[in-house]
Amino acid sequence: MNVAEAAAAVLAREGVGVLLAYPLNPLIESAAAAGIRPIIVRQERTGIHMADAISRLTSGRQVGVFCMQAGPGVENSFGAVAQAFSEGVPLVVIPGGSRRATAWVQPAFNAAVNFAHVTKWREQVSDPAAIVPALRRAFTQARSGRPGPVLIEVPADIWQEEVPGEFAYTPTTRPRSAPEPDAVAAAADILLAAQRPVIYAGQGVHYAQAWAQLREVAELLEAPVATSLEGKSSFPESHPLSLGTGGVTMPRALAEHLRDADVVFGAGASFTETGFGIRWSPRDRKRFIHNTVDPVDVNKNVPAEVALVGDAALCLAQLRDVLIERTGGAPRGRRAEVETRIREQNKPWWDEWLPLLTSEQKPLSPYRVIWDLLHTVDVAGTVITHDAGSPRDELSAFWRSEAPLSYIGWGKTTQLGTGLGLAMGAKLAAPEKLCINVWGDAAIGMTGMDLETCARAGIPILSILFNNFSMAMENKIMALSRERFQTTDISGNYADLASALGLFAERVTEPGQIKEALIRGIDATRSGRPALLEFITTQEKVYSIFSPDSYQTRR
C-alpha cells in the first residue's frame, strides 16, 4: 500500500463519503479506488466551504475533508481555511507539497509554515510511515476541544512510496470533558438568585448536540435565550422564551434584554469580540457565567465569575440536575412575565418592520423577499445560510429558525462568497432538506462559477440572489470615490449566467411575482435541479441595528 492508498484507507475508516477536491492531488484517484466520491469544484475556496458545512451539519461527527495541489492550489485556499479557523470548524485539509528536497527552498510555497496561524494543527509528512499517524492526529485534533481546521501537507515525492507494515487504523473519537461539580452548583445559585438572567447560546451547543439540555435549563430557569450568529437554531426561535439571534442586527427585545440583564449565562459560547456579533462590554456590570469547551476563552473578552469549562451537553445536563435539586423541578412563576416582556418589547419593532417585510416597492426590498421565503418554505426542513455583508444583516434578525442546525450562521471573519459552498455542503450532508444561500451581487462575483458544480455534481440547492448592481453596503463609506469613479457600481445578469451554467434560473422584478418564483425554484430543487432566483433589489440600506440609548432601530 502506498501513501496515497493508505491516506484513502484512513478516510474510509473515518466514514468520509465525499472528498472535496481540486486537481492535482493523488488522493483523488486513491479515494475513488476506495469508494469515496471525489467532487471537483471550480475553485478551492468553495470545496473547503462545502467541507466546512459537512462538519457543521453533522456537529463534527463527520469531519469534512478537502485536498488540492501544492503551490497555487494551497495558496488559493487561504481564505476558506482562515474562515473555518475563525469559526472553529473542524476540517482536515490535505494539500500536496513540494518535494522534500526543496520544501524549504524559495520560492516553494510551504503550506505547513504559511497556514500556521489559521490551522489548529499542521504537519508536513516527511516519511511514508508517518501518513497514518499524521491523519490519526488530524482527525483527533480537528474535533476535540475547540474544533478547527488541520492541515496535513504531503510532499510530491512521497505519495507513491510504500507504507511499511500492515495497514491498521481505528477511527478516532471525540473526547469530552465536564466542568467541576462545585462550579456548576455555584452557577445554579447565581442563576436562581438573578433578577434578569439571559442565556446566551453559542455554537458549542450545536457541536455538543445539547439542544434538549439547553431547552430544559431555559424552561427550568424560566429565562430568555439569545443565540450568537453561529449558535442560531440551537434554541427554537418560535419558542416564547426566545430572544432571537445577536449579530450586527437583532430583534429589539434582545437589545433591551442585553441592557437590562444582571447575569448572562453563556452556554457553548466563546464570547469572542467580533464586529459581527453582540458587543459584550467588559465595562458592563453584568455577571458572567461562562461555559466553553476551551479555557482559552475564559476571561478573554468578558470576565467570568464562574467558569464552566467543558462540553456544553455535559455542562447543561449537570446544571439541569442541580436546578431540579434546588427547585424540585417546579416553576417559580416567572415565565409569563418574561414572555410578556419579550412580546411587548418586540411589538414596536414588528410595527416598524412589517411595512418593509411586506413592501410592494420596486426595486424590491430584500426584506420582502426574506419574508416571502420564510412564509413559503417548510422552515424546520430547511437549512439556510447568509453571505457576508448585507444579506447576513438582513436575514439573521428576521429568519426564525426552529430546528437544530437549520441555520448556518457565520461571522468572525466573513469571506464574501462563502455562503454558496456552505449551502452545497449542507445539501450533501442533508439531502432531504431544502438548502438555501442568500447572497448579494458582490458575493456572487467571488465564487459564482461554482454554480456549475451544483449543476454538474447534482447538488440541487436554492440560491437567492439580491442584485442591486452595487456593493450597496459600502455606498455611504465610499461616497466620494463612488461619485467620481463609480467605485461601488457593479453589474451583471446572473439569471442568464446561472441558466448558462445549467441551473433553473429566473430574474424577478415584481413584488407580486416573488412567491410564485420561489415555489418554482423550490420545485426545481425537488426535481434534482439547482435553482438561482435573481431578485432585483433596492440600493437603499436599512438594518435592525440598535444604539444602546434609544433602542430605536437605526436606518
List, in sequence order, every beta strand (DSSP E) within 164-253.
197-201, 225-228, 242-246
The nearer residue to Mg ion, 342 or 472, going by C-beta atoms, is 472
C-alpha to C-alpha distance for 171 and 173, rounded to whole angstroms: 7
The nearer residue to Mg ion, 230 or 441, going by C-beta atoms, is 441
Segment near Mg ion (CB under 5 A); pick from 46-54, 118-126, 293-301, 441-449: 441-449
Work out how close the CB of 537 gets to ligand TPP at its nearest, in angstroms, rounded to a whole number.
7
C-alpha to C-alpha distance for 74 and 98, rounded to whole angstroms: 11
| Helix/strand/coil for 465 | strand
Strand order in the sheet with 18-21: 37-40, 18-21, 64-68, 91-97, 149-155, 121-124
Question: Which residue in 464, 482, 461, 470 sits closest to 441, CA to CA?
Answer: 470
Q: Judged by CB under 6 A, how many residues of this single chain contact ligand TPP?
A: 17
- HSE, side-chain direction, 13 A CA sphere, residue 168: 3
Residue 422 binding partner per list ligand TPP, Mg ion, none, with a CB distance cut-off of 5 to 8 Å that depends on partner kind:
none
List, in sequence order, every beta strand (DSSP E) within 362-482.
382-385, 407-408, 434-440, 462-467
83 is a contact residue toward ligand TPP (CB under 6 A): no
468 is a contact residue toward Mg ion (CB under 5 A): yes
The backbone region for 6, taken as left when phi is positive above 0, alpha when psi lies in -120 to 50, beta otherwise, is alpha
Work out how close the CB of 373 gets to ligand TPP at its nearest, in angstroms, rounded to a whole number.
16
Work out how close the CB of 338 gets to ligand TPP at its nearest, in angstroms, rounded to a whole number.
35
> Nearest residue by C-beta to ligand TPP?
440
How far is it between the farthest Cα atoms of the chain?
72
The nearer residue to ligand TPP, 302 or 420, going by C-beta atoms, is 420
Segment near Mg ion (CB under 5 A); pick from 109-117, 149-157, 212-220, 466-474: 466-474
Binders in 422-481 for ligand TPP, by CB under 6 A = 440-443, 466, 468, 470-474
| Helix/strand/coil for 546 | strand
Work out how close the CB of 78 gets to ligand TPP at its nearest, in angstroms, rounded to a whole number.
11
Residue 473 binding partner per list Mg ion, ligand TPP, none, with a CB distance cut-off of 5 to 8 Å that depends on partner kind:
ligand TPP
Binders in 369-398 for Mg ion, by CB under 5 A = none
| Helix/strand/coil for 155 | strand
The nearer residue to ligand TPP, 414 or 525, going by C-beta atoms, is 414
Residue 348 amino acid letter: P
Work out how close the CB of 393 gets to Mg ion at its nearest, in angstroms, rounded to a whole number.
13
The nearer residue to Mg ion, 66 or 494, going by C-beta atoms, is 494
The nearer residue to Mg ion, 454 or 473, going by C-beta atoms, is 473
Work out how close the CB of 466 gets to ligand TPP at its nearest, in angstroms, rounded to a whole number.
5
Q: How many helices (H) and strands (E) does the chain have?
A: 21, 20
Window 353-392: contact mask with ligand TPP (x via CB under 6 A): -----------------------------------xxx--
In contact, 383 and 423? CB cutoff 8 Å: yes
> Nearest residue by C-beta to Mg ion?
440
Task: Report strand pairing: 37-40 vs 462-467.
Answer: unpaired
Work out how close the CB of 470 gets to ligand TPP at its nearest, in angstroms, rounded to a whole number.
5
In contact, 176 and 310? CB cutoff 8 Å: yes
Work out how close the CB of 208 gets to ligand TPP at its nearest, in angstroms, rounded to a whole number.
29
Segment near Mg ion (CB under 5 A); pick from 32-40, 236-244, 425-433, 435-443: 435-443
Question: Which residue in 206, 243, 463 sits closest to 341, CA to CA?
Answer: 243
Cis before 348 (ω within 30): no
Q: Which helix (H) or strand (E) holds 350?
A: helix 335-357
Residue 125 binding partner per list ligand TPP, Mg ion, none, with a CB distance cut-off of 5 to 8 Å that depends on partner kind:
none
Binders in 398-417 for ligand TPP, by CB under 6 A = 414-416
441 is a contact residue toward Mg ion (CB under 5 A): yes
Number of Cβ atoms within 10 Å of the Cβ of 413: 18
Work out how close the CB of 467 gets to ligand TPP at its nearest, in angstroms, rounded to a whole number.
8
Work out how close the CB of 542 gets to ligand TPP at its nearest, in angstroms, rounded to a whole number.
11
C-alpha to C-alpha distance for 18 and 64, rounded to whole angstroms: 8
Window 471-500: contact mask with Mg ion (x via CB under 5 A): -x----------------------------
List, in sequence order, every beta strand (DSSP E) within 112-174.
121-124, 149-155
Work out how close the CB of 409 gets to Mg ion at its nearest, in angstroms, rounded to a whole number.
21
C-alpha to C-alpha distance for 144 and 330, rounded to whole angstroms: 36
Residue 174 amino acid letter: R
C-alpha to C-alpha distance for 372 and 521, rounded to whole angstroms: 13
Segment near Mg ion (CB under 5 A); pick from 126-134, 340-348, 438-446, 545-553: 438-446
Alpha carbon 250 to its chain centroid, in Å, reads 17
Work out how close the CB of 415 gets to ligand TPP at its nearest, in angstroms, rounded to a whole number.
5
Residue 388 binding partner per list ligand TPP, Mg ion, none, with a CB distance cut-off of 5 to 8 Å that depends on partner kind:
ligand TPP
Give the residues lining the site for ligand TPP (CB under 6 A). Answer: 388-390, 414-416, 440-443, 466, 468, 470-474
By CB under 5 A, name the binding residues for Mg ion: 440-441, 468, 470, 472
